[in-house]
Amino acid sequence: MLYDAFPAIEVKWRFTGVEQRRTSCELCGHDIAHVYYARSNTGAVIGVGCDCINTLLDPDERGKVELFTRRMNRAAAQWSKKLPAPKDGETRDQYIVRRVTEMGNARAASNAYAAIGHQGFTDARLTARNEHKAELDDLRSKITSNYSAESNAYMQRISEIENAAIDKLHAQVEAKYKANRFDFNRQAWEVRKI
Ligand SMILES: [Zn+2]
Cα-to-centroid distance, 83 and ligand 1 (Å): 33
Tens of pLDDT along 5-31?
A: 556 678 899 999 888 889 999 999 999
Domain that holds residue 163: 105-191
Domain match, 116 and 54 both: no
Tens of pLDDT along 60-81?
A: 899 999 898 899 999 999 999 9
Cα-to-centroid distance, 97 and ligand 1 (Å): 23
pTM score, whole prediction: 0.78
Tens of pLDDT along 130-186?
A: 999 999 888 888 777 667 777 888 889 989 999 999 999 999 999 999 999 999 999
Instruction: For residue 29, tell me if it sits in a domain.
Output: yes
- How many Cβ atoms are within 10 Å of 62's Cβ, its own excluded? 15
Structure-derived torsion over alpha carbons of residues 113, 168, 86, 88, reported in degrees to the nearest 10: -150
**Domain end among 28, 46, 61:** 61
Cα-to-centroid distance, 16 and ligand 1 (Å): 16
Counted domains in the chain: 2
Cα-to-centroid distance, 18 and ligand 1 (Å): 14
pLDDT on residue 93: 87
For residue 44, give Cα distances in angstroms to 7, 41, 90, 115, 136: 19, 7, 32, 41, 64
pLDDT on residue 145: 67
Instruction: For residue 96, tell me if it sits in a domain.
Output: no
Rounded CA-CA distance 124/163 in Å is 10
Cα-to-centroid distance, 78 and ligand 1 (Å): 28
Instruction: For residue 174, tell me if it sits in a domain.
Output: yes
The secondary structure of 136-150 as a DSSP string is HHHHHHH--STTSHH
Domain match, 117 and 55 both: no
